[in-house]
């Protein structure tokens, strides 16, 4: 296997850590994290800001260069690493905390922020021993789409070569497309097609540039496995439920989307949970060797024998992992009022153990998932569901089933959810850093800075939104938190649909027995088919590009790289557009929408499909162009 060479060689004396980079990253992280919290409470999804921050960091450093001096590409990477933590903090908070408000607990900013801070610390420190195993050793296996895209943006800006045109061309196209789709609403954001023979079967698509770019980066195999899971849910399980439950007036009245919400998501959560367990089991040797390697590194440092470790392979010492675990554990046990966890000592000790065990397991799983599908498609809510199921079952066994017990279980879920989200985020950042030639230790420090600076700012945004608008009704319905609330109440009350959960687990096991990677398959089952479809199209275009080279490896590599840069630009452009729209909605408390054309019949869907087809054709044509891009 050819040795990987980063953009900045290991022995280059580049400045890659500075206070100015931390300040710029922290400021934009607070802004984007707050906007993400708002948009997530509306629709249940958050936007990865790693790529937009990479672009903005370059622009800000360039604009301020007469005042602060020239920046390096590694400084821009530190800025985006610091700022991108805010999005993951927002995900962890909005997926769980609103349920506490629904139960009437009304947690304050300090309590919400402390929970986010504890989860963020765990997410960062658990990736210290896992970085070499997941980022370095599996460099050719796990693409980490946003990390690769962020690195492409930074390299294009740094080199100033013709290849930069593809990145920024894709960025402009992605941004323009997002504005037309969401702000101006010139055509529908989602299109669907009912299948006439299969009852309530439905094909769907979100015709977005980012998902198309993700699919191109993932490649045809993983994209096909993911869409296969979605097809099983929407063309198999939903029609089966509609057929068998046709005599039930409630099921008969449900739309395909409602069946997905009430049944398929629980089945998918079971599949993701089992696939996660399988992934963790298969990763035990990886985790063992990673920890062993870090303990050996600690021993070499203690004896002064680590001078030979290169800059690009230098992580924070393993003692930081131990300190982080102790800080989180003792905070839960000894400072219950600080996090709104004022229960008995026994409950707190059990809670601390659950937090540490689940956070470590799902940090590993989250890093692998985002390596396949990216941060935006990371099923963090599925991992949180598994945490809540396990914790609630333990609480149920000890008889802690009152509202206080449910709140304690949800508090555990919050810390684990933030930890898993942060682990996925820093994985993308470390991937970008690995491609660029950054120093991992300094990236890990900057991520911790980002967690500390953004935790209470994002918490304050959620608290203000809760006080201003409330949850459960109106625009801010907090759909993910509502699902968590339902699961906890279902287990504590003894009425959770375990048959659906175990059904999903069986699908994951069957996939593994057939030697199909169960995790992408389960993710495909869990997420909407409309998300998987454009990803598959992107993977299919990648296969066509590879075949068009007709065995010429040099031409194949050139065309693939051209497409990867353009796809990275698509992701970056839509990401920036999403953040701008989120900021618009947050500041003006208005739903984005300009012209908002109302097309008669299915004309809007045809226009949306036509626009996406043009986008696909542009990706294919641009990737196949000869000569310099």
Tell me: pLDDT of 294 over 60: no
How many Cβ atoms sit within 10 Å of the Cβ of residue 332? 27
pLDDT in tens, 512-549: 999 998 888 988 898 889 888 999 999 999 999 989 88
194 and 201 in contact (C-beta within 8 Å)?
A: yes
Strands (E), 167-207: 191-194, 202-205
Q: Which band of pLDDT confidence, cut at 50, 70 and 90, is reported for residue 60?
A: confident
DSSP 263: I
Q: DSSP for 402-459?
A: SHHHHHHHHHHHHHHHHHHHHHHHHHHHHHHHHHHT--HHHHHHHHHHHHHHHHHHHH
> What single DSSP character describes residue 197?
S
Which candidate, 445, 276, 495, 287, places its Cα nearest to that of 369?
276
Residue 73 corresponds to which tokens in the numbers above?
């590409």
Q: C-alpha 445: how far from its chain's center?
A: 21
Backbone angles phi, psi at 194, to 5 degrees: -80, 135
Compute the Cα dihedral for 89, 91, 95, 100 and give only its sign. Answer: positive
> What's CA 122's distance to the chain center, in Å?
16
Angstrom distances, CA of residue 94 to CA of 37, 43, 100, 465:
7, 11, 11, 11
User: Which pLDDT tens digit goes with each residue over 373-427?
Assistant: 677 666 677 778 778 888 888 888 888 888 888 888 888 888 998 998 899 888 9
DSSP 253: T
* Closest-CA residue to 341 (of 90, 96, 114, 93): 114
Q: Give the residue carrying structure tokens 């696939």.
A: 275
pLDDT digits (tens, 9 = 90+) for 325-345: 999 999 999 888 777 666 778
- What is the Cα–Cα distance from 178 to 560, expressed in whole angstroms? 24
Question: What is d(CA 136, CA 124) in angstroms, rounded to the nearest whole number?
Answer: 17
Q: Give the pLDDT of residue 589.
A: 58
CA 479-120-450 angle, 5° bins: 105
Q: Checking phi first, is residue 437 left (phi over 0); if not, alpha (psi -120 to 50) or beta?
A: left
Phi/psi at 12 (5° precision): -80, 135
Residue 1: is its pLDDT beyond 50? Answer: no
End-to-end CA distance of the chain: give it in Å, rounded: 28
Return the bridge partners of 205, or none.
191
Residue 510 pLDDT > 90 = yes
Q: Give one DSSP letter per residue of 215-252, joined into a string.
A: HHHH-HHHHHHHHHHHHIIIIIIHHHHHHHGGGSHHHH
pLDDT above 70: residue 157: yes
Could you read off the pLDDT of 2-22 as tens digits, one per residue?
567 888 877 776 677 888 889
What is the distance between the alpha carbons of residues 215 and 568, in angstroms, rounded to a whole number? 11
pLDDT at 616: 96
Q: Map tokens 């300009």 to a residue.
A: 594
**Eight-state DSSP code of residue 204:** E
Per-residue CA distances from 25 to 317, 446, 447, 451 (Å): 24, 9, 10, 11
Instruction: Name which of 360, 346, 195 is nearest 290 in CA terms.
Output: 360
Residue 192's DSSP bridge partners are 204
Both tokens of 288, joined, read 């063992």
Q: What is the 3-state secondary structure (H, E, C) of 323-372?
A: HHHHHHHHHHHHCHHHHCCCCCHHHHHHHHHHHHHHHHHHHHHHHHHHHH
Of 444-448, 497-501, 577-581, which one has max mean pLDDT?
A: 444-448
pLDDT at 627: 44
186-195 burial, b at 16+ Cβ within 10 Å, e below that, comes to bbbeebbeee
Nearest to 84 by CA among 165, 154, 161: 154
CB 570 within 8 A of CB 541: no
Identify which of 448, 597, 527, 559 has the alpha carbon closest to the alpha carbon of residue 234.
527
Q: How far apart are CA 138 and CA 140, in angstroms?
A: 5
Predicted confidence at residue 502, as pLDDT, reads 92
């Amino acid at each position: 296997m050819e040795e990987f060479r980063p953009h900045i060689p290991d022995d280059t004396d580049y400045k890659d850590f500075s206070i100015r980079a931390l300040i710029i990253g922290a400021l934009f992280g607070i802004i984007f994290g707050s906007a993400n919290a708002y948009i997530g409470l509306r629709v249940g999804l958050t936007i990865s800001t790693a790529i937009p921050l990479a672009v903005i960091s370059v622009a800000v450093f360039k604009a301020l260069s007469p005042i602060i001096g020239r920046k390096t590409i590694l400084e821009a990477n530190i800025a985006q690493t610091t700022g991108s933590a805010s999005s993951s903090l927002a995900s962890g908070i909005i997926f769980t905390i609103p349920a506490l408000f629904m139960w009437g607990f009304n947690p304050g900013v300090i309590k919400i922020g402390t929970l986010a801070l504890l989860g963020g610390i765990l997410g960062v420190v658990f990736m210290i021993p896992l970085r070499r195993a997941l980022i370095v050793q599996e460099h050719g296996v796990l693409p980490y789409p946003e990390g690769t895209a962020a690195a492409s943006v930074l390299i294009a800006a740094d080199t100033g070569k013709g290849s930069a045109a593809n990145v920024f061309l894709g960025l402009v196209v992605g941004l323009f497309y997002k504005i037309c789709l969401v702000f101006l609403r010139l055509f529908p954001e989602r299109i669907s097609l009912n299948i006439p023979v299969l009852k309530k079967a439905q094909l769907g698509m979100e015709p977005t540039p980012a998902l198309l770019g993700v699919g191109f980066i993932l490649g045809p195999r993983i994209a096909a496995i993911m869409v296969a899971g979605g097809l099983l849910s929407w063309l198999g399980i939903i029609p089966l439920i509609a057929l068998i439950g046709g005599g039930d007036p409630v099921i008969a009245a449900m739309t395909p989307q409602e069946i997905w919400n009430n049944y398929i998501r629980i089945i998918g959560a079971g599949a993701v949970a089992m696939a996660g367990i399988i992934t963790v089991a298969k990763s035990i040797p990886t985790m063992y060797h990673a920890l062993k390697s870090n303990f050996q590194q600690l021993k070499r440092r203690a004896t002064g024998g680590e001078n030979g470790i290169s800059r690009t392979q230098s992580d924070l010492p393993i003692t930081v992992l131990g300190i982080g675990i102790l800080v989180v554990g003792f905070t839960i046990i000894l400072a219950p009022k600080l996090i709104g966890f004022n229960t008995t000592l026994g409950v707190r000790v059990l809670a601390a153990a659950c937090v540490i065990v689940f956070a470590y397991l799902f940090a590993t799983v989250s890093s692998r998932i985002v390596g396949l599908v990216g941060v935006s498609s990371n099923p963090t809510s599925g991992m949180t569901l598994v945490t809540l199921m396990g914790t609630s079952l333990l609480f149920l066994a000890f008889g802690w089933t009152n509202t206080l017990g449910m709140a304690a279980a949800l508090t555990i879920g919050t810390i684990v959810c933030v930890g898993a989200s942060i682990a996925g985020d820093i994985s993308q950042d470390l991937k970008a850093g690995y491609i660029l030639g950054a120093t991992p230790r300094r990236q890990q420090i900057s991520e911790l800075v980002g967690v500390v600076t953004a935790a209470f700012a994002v918490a304050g945004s959620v608290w203000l939104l809760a006080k201003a608008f409330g949850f459960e009704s109106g625009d801010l319905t907090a759909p993910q938190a509502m699902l968590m609330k339902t699961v906890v109440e279902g287990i504590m009350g003894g009425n959770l649909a375990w048959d659906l959960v175990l059904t999903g687990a069986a699908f994951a096991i069957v996939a593994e027995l057939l030697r199909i990677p169960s995790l992408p398959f389960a993710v495909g089952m869990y997420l909407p088919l409309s998300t998987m479809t454009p990803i598959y199209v992107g993977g299919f275009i990648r296969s066509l590009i590879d075949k068009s080279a007709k065995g010429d490896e040099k031409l194949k590599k050139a065309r693939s790289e051209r497409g990867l840069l353009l796809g990275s630009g698509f992701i970056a452009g839509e990401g920036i557009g999403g953040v701008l729209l989120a900021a618009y909605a947050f500041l003006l408390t208005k739903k984005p929408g300009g012209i908002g054309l109302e097309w008669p019949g299915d004309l809007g869907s045809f226009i949306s499909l036509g626009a996406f087809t043009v986008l696909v054709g542009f990706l294919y044509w641009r990737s196949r162009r000869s000569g310099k891009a």
